[in-house]
Structure 1
């Protein structure tokens, strides 16, 4: 501004008539100076704003990535939980349905038939206990309704195999005749079959559909 004023004095002030022109020139130059300063400030502000925007975008991108990673991790853990629980369910279903279908040995002796049911029932009972444990370990990954239904299923599995196994263990402990044991086994097998058909099979079907939906798997 001092330089501008010196120019004005040399150019416009020698004559009295130049006073008005000098004032006008001063106003004009001052206005231009202010405009230039405002333009510089505006450009500086725009640059700073752009830098801050890019920084914010980077931070948001990092946050979004972290959220995606966290979500993917939870989804992966949930998928693993479903896999483990479903595997435990199948671990119980396999020996149980074998019991229901009957002894696969052709012309088996009563002793062999008894041993078959005893061995398979122990496997089913152990699988039922494992299902209860696996479900408890993965409870956090299921909503309340799903967990309640799975819990009910595990209890039914445990009770059903326990009831079937009880006369077998009792007869072994008391040394009873195998023929009498097979009669009791047949009665319990019919009960087990009814429990499977009327209670457990419907729950298993619902859980399979729900698991497929959670995992976004379409049935072929």
Structure 2
């Protein structure tokens, strides 16, 4: 899969023939320097942008064949998102924020699922607080619960610890790993905080638009040519 921006002399190949597969339940980091193409890759997997060439298959479905309405529906059902900033709606309660993806998807799942997730991320006592009354670390826990509420095939996280101190970052990383193992949930995480994540299933490094397996220069192997 490739992604090219601009035309003629202004063409920039943000992703250059990237190709790999990720198995269900894998906890995968995507790393690389600023401007390497890692966020572009996450946007492609998240169906927030279209590849110039190639395809993105999720659960065996070639998403490049879907029209915009079907892509929106597919994204709501199959993908969960966690961002650097929790992006909670401050006028809503913690519980209401977690329930938002269900309402958007027209899902009638009961509040019990949201409460169970909030209990799992250690926020049982914060359920009815407004989102502007909790700490940054707590807000990111809410964002994780919100990302999981639709039982997505893949959870995509873009710099989920980038706005947190090191202690809180460690807590959030361990929480995501715990949820991944408990739910056999696939996590794909873009981060520049490699050291905070410790051992993970795989690391994919993006350099100059190409993908490499591993994160140490001496060990990196190109995974698409």
Q: Same fold (TM over 0.5)?
A: no
> Could you say which structure has the greater relative contact order, defined with CA pairs below 8 angstroms and 6 or more residues apart?
2
Query: What's the TM-score once normalised by structure 1's chain length?
Result: 0.23
**Which has the larger share of helix?**
1
**Which has the larger share of strand?**
2
Larger Rg over CA atoms: 1
Query: What's the TM-score once normalised by structure 2's chain length?
Result: 0.23
